[in-house]
Amino acid sequence: MEIIIAPTYQEMSKISAHFIAREIKKKHDIVLGLATGDTPIGTYQELVKVHKEEGLDFSKITTFNLDEYVGLPPLHKNSYNYFMQDNLFRHVNVNQANVYVPQGNTEDPEEFSAWYEQQIKNAGGIDFQILGIGRDGHIGFNEPGSSFASRTRVKALYKQTIEDNARFFDRIEDVPRFAITMGVGTILEAKKILLIANGEKKADVVAQFIEGPVTSQITATALQLHTLATVVLDEAAASKLKRKEYYNWVRDNKHLVQKMVGR
Ligand code: PGA
């Protein structure tokens, strides 16, 4: 795992957007896995800027979002589909026919989940997956105990997740209890992964998932099993890491590292 510590949220967002833009430039018809939440908003803003100022072309890309609340129709203001339209899709030249977000109001979540997995396969798999992390260590909505082999399916949300996401709803009772989410197994099949995290409230879980043992109780630890995973943090989220100095040395000596390991 490559760990990059940025001084601020803005810098973290710029670095992440730069990585994504670089991948899009390398492969115009890239398949991106996308995340929602507060964390990637700055990254999406930076990407929109690169599109507007440098003409970064989204017209051939395909996107798959990680998750969606069960019960919310796609145009609901708290749906992740709405979030994506609002924060990224309507600001860039993405082809809406190539945009996939799990359908929260599907009548048959099981059948839908199998269909979603099939669409990912048909697209040739996810080239580059963007992730956030929940305070309970989830990636997507893979709550504690999710199998590392899991595929897209419905998960019951953990209490902490419901509390954390209550800020978007009028009342905590309005937060959906279930979500459709890509599985840990689905995520691990992405060719490259970028996880971003910011703020002091993520510091404990960031230290656990990077430096702790691999466990399904913190599903982000599955990234330790991936060969091309990069983590971009701000200083606050990185504050409890024990090996910060080592990560910073590698970051600051990238030219030497690249010569040795070729990436
Ligand atoms: P956040 O959520 O970006 O709103 O902190 C992250 C997540 O739950 O994956």
**pLDDT tens for residues 24-39?**
999 999 999 999 999 9
Q: How far is the CA of 13 from the centre of ligand 1 (A)?
A: 14
- pLDDT value, residue 260: 73
Catalytic residues: 67, 136, 138, 143
Q: How confident is the model at residue 23 (pLDDT cuts 50, 70, 90)?
A: very high
Q: Is the CB of 39 under 6 A from ligand 1?
A: yes
Q: Is the CB of 132 under 6 A from ligand 1?
A: yes
Q: How far is the CA of 143 from the centre of ligand 1 (A)?
A: 12
Quote the CA–CA distance of 229 and 227 in Å, as a whole number. Answer: 6
Number of Cβ within 10 Å of residue 25's Cβ equals 13
The torsion angle over the Cα atoms of residues 88, 63, 232 and 197, rounded to 10 degrees, is: 70
Q: How confident is the model at residue 96 (pLDDT cuts 50, 70, 90)?
A: very high
**Mean pLDDT computed over 121-134:** 98
- pLDDT value, residue 255: 79
What is the 3-state secondary structure of the chain?
Answer: CEEEEECCHHHHHHHHHHHHHHHHHHCCCCEEEECCCCCCHHHHHHHHHHHHHHCCCCCCCEEEECEEECCCCCCCCCCHHHHHHHHCHHHCCCCHHHEECCCCCCCCHHHHHHHHHHHHHHCCCCCEEEECCCCCCCCCCCCCCCCCCCCCEEEECCHHHHHHHHHHCCCHHHCCCEEEECCHHHHHCCCEEEEEECCHHHHHHHHHHHHCCCECCEHHHHHHHCCCEEEEEECCCCCCCCCHHHHHHHHHCHHHHHHHHCC
Q: Is the CB of 137 under 6 A from ligand 1?
A: no
Q: Is the CB of 200 under 6 A from ligand 1?
A: no
Cα-based distances in Å from 89 to 120, 170, 213? 19, 26, 37
Q: How far is the CA of 4 from the centre of ligand 1 (A)?
A: 19
Q: Ligand 1, residue 139: give the atom nearest the CA.
A: 9
Query: pTM to 2 decimals?
Result: 0.96
Select from 87, 133, 223 the residue to mutate for testing ligand 1; criterion: most ligand atoms less than 8 Å from CB. 133
- pLDDT value, residue 261: 64
- pLDDT value, residue 41: 98
Q: Ligand 1, residue 135: give the atom nearest the CA.
A: 8
Q: How confident is the model at residue 170 (pLDDT cuts 50, 70, 90)?
A: very high
Domain at 2-261: CATH code: 3.40.50.1360
Q: How confident is the model at residue 262 (pLDDT cuts 50, 70, 90)?
A: low
Select from 13, 164, 194 the residue to mutate for testing ligand 1; criterion: most ligand atoms less than 8 Å from CB. 164
- Count how many residues are written for the chain: 263
| Cβ contact 196:6 at 8 Å | no
Quote the CA–CA distance of 33 and 229 in Å, as a whole number. Answer: 14
Number of Cβ within 10 Å of residue 55's Cβ equals 8
Select from 38, 87, 193, 206 the residue to mutate for testing ligand 1; criterion: most ligand atoms less than 8 Å from CB. 38
Q: Is the CB of 134 under 6 A from ligand 1?
A: yes
Which residues are CB-contacts of 223 (< 8 A; sequence separation ≥ 6)? 1, 139, 193, 195, 209, 229, 231
